[in-house]
Structure 1
């Protein structure tokens, strides 16, 4: 799970532009994501084959 925390921190810090999560990883990743203090700043976009691309926004979603 530390892997996902590191990925979220890199995304938040601008070190990476996006995170691609496969459907097999979704529930493990989401467990870490919803506990993140800036949860509402992350945006997931579903793609074909169950992939989800997460990006970070300075403006939180409502």
Structure 2
């Protein structure tokens, strides 16, 4: 299992540009993401073949 909490923190701090999640990792990652206190700051863009690219936004989505 990946350390998704650490990945989210690195994304927030700008240490990494984005997080790529494959379809077989999606539900496991999402479970961690929705519990994160800054959940609305993370944006996921769906790509082909079930891949999702997550980025961090300074202003949370509404």
TM bracket (short chain): over 0.9
Tell me which residue corresponds to 2:49. 49
TM-score by length of 1: 0.96
User: Could you list the runs of 4 or more consecutive aligned residues of structure 1 that deviate by over 3 angstroms after TM superposition?
Assistant: none
**Consecutive unaligned residues in structure 2, runs of 5 or more:** none
**Consecutive unaligned residues in structure 1, runs of 5 or more:** none
What SS does the aligned partner of 1:12 have? helix
Q: CA RMSD in A?
A: 1.1
Tell me which residue corresponds to 1:39. 39
